Structure 1
Amino acid sequence: MLRFTTVACAATLSLALISGSALAGDLVHVTDITGRDVEVSVPAERVILGEGRQIYFAGALDTDAPFKRVVGWRDDFKKADLDGYNAYLERFPEMEKLPTFGGMKDGTFDVEQAVALKPDVIIMNIDAKAATEESGYIEKLAKVGIPVIYIDFREKAMENTDESMRIMGKIYGKEERAEEFVKFRQEQLARVTDVLAKAGDIKRPLVFVERAGGYSDDCCMSFGGENFGAMAEIAGGVNMGTEFIPGTFGTVNPEQIIASNPDQVVVTGANWELYVPGGNWVGVGPGADLDKSREKLAALMNRPAFTDIKAVKDGNVHAIWHQFYNNPYQFVAIQQMAKWFHPDLFKDVDPDATFKELHDRFLPVDYRPGYFVSLNDK
């Protein structure tokens, strides 16, 4: 249950009712990713990001000034993606002064602080929906004219990404920009799906995707049929975790990995120095030292679950930026996995070039390679 101090919050709510939240424009009805009909003042000028990593899509809409309408955000970006955070910090030092929040799911979101910031809207990831509704905050915030909108780039990313971008385009008054992004995303996905469709009945490798390998000593977190599991399938692989994990996220035991003997292993990683200092995670991401990342990836393959499997023997072991699992850039990861799984079919696809074009056209920071590494890299 989220913290709610009755007297203090009641006073804050009363003050907000008197002063009103900052209405930026016309009130319009927006259908969020859960199907809720929500009235929002657009274009919103004061926005709270329910997760710091939502700047990944916010920055694609407000490319020149991604923080101009952000009045507060969750405190996860720096811890979950330190290299990405620092890239934004170099360009936008003012972001360190933004008020930060805890999360809805862990009960540390401060609703009084949120109300005091007078946002036009609060953007929440769909995975926070149950905690948000159980706390009653949807109703409490609605009483002071603060709507909550759910979007999704994580739970059913391949199904909900385009619509989530369109929702944000409407809220930001950037509908044409959002549609331009969606068009680019669809074109880049087609560079994989069209080739595979034309190739017909090809051998699809069995792929084990390890979620955050080395983050802890446990083995092994993975994905079911969504998120990276779906990306592996779209890229022309067979996701091993789909058979054993009924939901989006779960765990596969080491004995099952040995028994399944996957053809390819993909480990997700990022710079998690603030979460697990000196940990065994593979620090891929913007500007990563790929020689060091490759060494850490090789070390992870010394665990009993991996030493004798086909993927390791053949050198088909890779690491990929974990944050592709929670932003609208998944098509880059799909291109890279397709190139790993079917190198002959995708000789002409350059995921680094695709990601650079995305940065050049849409994102507020420059592209820095370092998002992918393989044990068989020359």
Structure 2
Amino acid sequence: MRLPDFAACAAVALVVLLPSASSAADNKITVTDVVGRQVEVKAPVEKVILGEGRQVYFVAALDTDAPFKRVVGWRDDFEKADLDGYKDYIAKYPLIAKLPKFGGSKEGTFDIEQAISLAPDVMIMNVEAKTATDDSKLIEKLAKVGIPVVFIDFRDKPFENTDPSMRLMGKLFGKEARAEEFIAFRNEQIDIVTKRLAAANPPKPVVMIERAAGYSDDCCMSFGNENFGKMVEIAGGINMASKIIPGTFGVVNPEQIIAADPDQVIVTGSNWELYVPGGAWVGVGPGANGPEARRKLSALMERPAFTGVKAVKNKQVHAVWHQFYNSPYQFVAIQAIAKWQHPDLFKDLDPHKTMRTLHERFLPVTYKPGYWASLTDKE
């Protein structure tokens, strides 16, 4: 059951912001995080620090009734990286504006004294921060004051680590059944795509997927054999950068795009007004302005790397919410991409319905369309 009114939400948020004198979570369990570390944690945890603000994407899927009840601090990226999503959450939970914020460990701006003062039961870190935490001895420093660190991953190898990360968090939160329910839903939605593709075996279009198009003047960041690159392949396409980029993330140059002459172009975008005010990025996300997204998407295709390529000539150009790349919601992006790549095979598939169902079953905020856009859209 979700909290029924603002007063209840405010009361929960206020309790979160006040440090408790003692924890009722006296039982210790040993969990294995996604980098294989054995970590002893009091569980179910009552107070957590989120090493990235966007970790609320999975926290909300577990603690749907009160997504911030355990959160005593978080990194300052959610508002900057997903302004529209942040606005939805702060509208419903206004006191999250008062949650202590941290800088990033990779940037060397993480305040360890502040973290210790909040006395969390655990700190949750993304796996990409592992090198920085090792270099700064952050894990050892926190361990000395009884604060364990666990690593999760929805970004570097999401198709290997999403299910284990959700199970890990379900165990820490005492929400194992809820985690399994989410995992089952996610896998069911992916199976809709993969089983139909396996039966039909259609020709695969060549796809150029550009990471954060328009965020800077550089062209072009892309994905190798993981993350959105793998989403393209799971959805029945050929990721043109998979043979160019050896890992998850990398760069392709304009000449390589022109030579590949892709059948489709997909760019990732979000509302990055706080990062790059007035930038060329495509602002797709919850409640996004469709005509404005298409205008900016069209403008990006005027860059030398894309003028004259097959995808642009045929208007097979799309934008998709960047934050699918760092959340357990990738299955919705896979459905959207499958529908673009194989419109006849998936003409009855409705990714909007899938995203709406995700919100209704697992998330505390109301679904708003706008997570993707295409040059052929009429609305």
Q: State whether TM-score is above 0.5.
A: yes
RMSD value over aligned CA atoms? Answer: 1.1
The residue aligned with 2:8 is none
- Residue 22 of structure 1 and its aligned partner are, at CA, apart by 4.2
The residue aligned with 1:127 is 128
| Structure 1 letter corresponding to 2:197 | L
The residue aligned with 1:114 is 115
- Residue 23 of structure 1 and its aligned partner are, at CA, apart by 5.9
- Structure 2 CA distance, aligned partners of 1:223 and 1:357? 28
The residue aligned with 1:340 is 340
Normalising by structure 2, report the TM-score: 0.93
- Structure 1 CA distance, aligned partners of 2:139 and 2:186? 32
| Structure 2 letter corresponding to 1:173 | G
The residue aligned with 1:47 is 48
Does the CA contact (< 8 Å) of 1:272 and 1:281 recur in 2?
yes
Does residue 272 (structure 1) correspond to residue 268 (structure 2)? The answer is no
User: Is the partner of 1:241 in helix, strand or coil?
Assistant: coil
Superposition pairs for residues 148-297 of structure 1, below 5 Å? 148-200=149-201, 202-297=202-297
| Structure 1 letter corresponding to 2:286 | P
Does the CA contact (< 8 Å) of 1:166 and 1:179 recur in 2?
yes
Does the CA contact (< 8 Å) of 1:51 and 1:74 recur in 2?
yes
Does the CA contact (< 8 Å) of 1:125 and 1:150 recur in 2?
yes
Does the CA contact (< 8 Å) of 1:41 and 1:120 recur in 2?
yes
- Residue 376 of structure 1 and its aligned partner are, at CA, apart by 1.2
- Structure 1 CA distance, aligned partners of 2:130 and 2:59? 20
The residue aligned with 1:14 is none
The residue aligned with 1:95 is 96
User: Is the partner of 2:242 in helix, strand or coil?
Assistant: helix
Relative to structure 1, is the Cα distance of residues 307 and 21 closer, same or farther in structure 2, using a 3 angstrom cutoff? farther
- Structure 1 CA distance, aligned partners of 2:360 and 2:204? 33
- Structure 1 CA distance, aligned partners of 2:26 and 2:300? 53
- Structure 2 CA distance, aligned partners of 1:276 and 1:140? 35
Task: Please list the CA deviations of residues 59-78 of structure 1 after superposition, one character each: whole Å capped at 9, or x if unmatched.
Answer: 00000110001000000000
The residue aligned with 1:84 is 85
Segments of 5+ residues of structure 1 without an aligned counterpart are 1-18
| Structure 2 letter corresponding to 1:253 | N
- Residue 90 of structure 1 and its aligned partner are, at CA, apart by 0.7
- Residue 144 of structure 1 and its aligned partner are, at CA, apart by 1.2
The residue aligned with 2:301 is 301
Segments of 5+ residues of structure 2 without an aligned counterpart are 1-19
- Residue 132 of structure 1 and its aligned partner are, at CA, apart by 0.5
- Residue 21 of structure 1 and its aligned partner are, at CA, apart by 7.6
The residue aligned with 1:140 is 141
Task: Please list the CA deviations of residues 312-367 of structure 1 after superposition, one character each: whole Å capped at 9, or x if unmatched.
Answer: 01110000000000000000000000000000110111001000000000001000
Does residue 31 (structure 1) correspond to residue 64 (structure 2)? The answer is no
The residue aligned with 1:331 is 331
- Residue 140 of structure 1 and its aligned partner are, at CA, apart by 1.2
Task: Please list the CA deviations of residues 88-143 of structure 1 after superposition, one character each: whole Å capped at 9, or x if unmatched.
Answer: 01111011010000001111011110001000000000000011011111111111
| Structure 1 letter corresponding to 2:53 | G
Task: Please list the CA deviations of residues 25-78 of structure 1 after superposition, one character each: whole Å capped at 9, or x if unmatched.
Answer: 310000001111000011100000000000000000000110001000000000
Report percent identity of matched pairs.
68
- Structure 2 CA distance, aligned partners of 1:22 and 1:215? 44
The residue aligned with 2:16 is none
User: Is the partner of 2:189 in helix, strand or coil?
Assistant: helix
User: Is the partner of 1:266 in helix, strand or coil?
Assistant: strand
| Structure 2 letter corresponding to 1:132 | T
| Structure 2 letter corresponding to 1:335 | Q
Does residue 314 (structure 1) correspond to residue 314 (structure 2)? The answer is yes
The residue aligned with 2:71 is 70
Normalising by structure 1, report the TM-score: 0.94
- Structure 1 CA distance, aligned partners of 2:282 and 2:300? 9
Count of aligned positions: 359
- Structure 1 CA distance, aligned partners of 2:56 and 2:241? 29
User: Is the partner of 2:163 in helix, strand or coil?
Assistant: helix
- Structure 1 CA distance, aligned partners of 2:294 and 2:51? 34
- Structure 2 CA distance, aligned partners of 1:210 and 1:116? 41
- Structure 1 CA distance, aligned partners of 2:23 and 2:100? 17
The residue aligned with 2:57 is 56
User: Is the partner of 2:241 in helix, strand or coil?
Assistant: helix
- Structure 1 CA distance, aligned partners of 2:108 and 2:55? 19
User: Is the partner of 1:268 in helix, strand or coil?
Assistant: strand
The residue aligned with 2:373 is 373
- Structure 1 CA distance, aligned partners of 2:221 and 2:270? 15
- Structure 2 CA distance, aligned partners of 1:259 and 1:197? 29
Relative to structure 1, is the Cα distance of residues 21 and 153 closer, same or farther in structure 2, using a 3 angstrom cutoff? farther
User: Is the partner of 1:243 in helix, strand or coil?
Assistant: coil
